[in-house]
Amino acid sequence: MARTRVNVAALYAALDAARTTKKLSWRQLAAEVGVSPSTMTRLANGNRPDVDAFAALVRWLGAPAESFMIDAEGESEGSQAGEPELLVQLAPLLRARSDLGEEDVKYLEEVIGAAVRRFASERDSRVR
């Protein structure tokens, strides 16, 4: 049996967020991506897309396929030991955005950094 599989819930959530941002219907999104509307329905029902649809979807999202992969234990591929810090992963993405100025990027990095520190602190206090 395959050890790694598609995290359908994460893929669907990412598509929904992008669809909402772009003010598209699911049918319009399917047309823009180049997949059938029934592919979107299958995702909504928790079913995995075929490999060609998966490739088209992650390419349209501009995200690496690994972002939507989980191992047999249900952990995301990126959650393994040695995972880069969130800001290390996000900084290049923020800086690549043409709609964000340098000040915008710095502000977002500060906000995200503060949230990450708070979550880590809360997690550490629960573990003790």
Q: What is the pLDDT of residues 44-83, one digit of tens each?
A: 999 999 999 999 999 998 888 888 888 866 555 544 444 5
Q: Say if residue 10 is in the same domain as residue 37.
A: yes
Q: Say if residue 97 is in the same domain as residue 71.
A: no
Per the CB < 8 A criterion, the answer to whether 40 and 30 are in contact is: yes
Structure tokens, 33: 């991506």
Q: Say if residue 39 is in the same domain as residue 12.
A: yes
Q: Say if residue 18 is in the same domain as residue 65.
A: yes
Q: Say if residue 20 is in the same domain as residue 54.
A: yes
Q: Say if residue 21 is in the same domain as residue 53.
A: yes
Q: What is the number of structural domains in the chain?
A: 2
Which of 6, 80, 78 shows the shortest CA–CA distance to 43? 6
Q: In this predicted structure, what is the pLDDT of residue 4?
A: 86
Q: In this predicted structure, what is the pLDDT of residue 75?
A: 57
Domain residues for 91? 86-127
Read off the pTM: 0.62
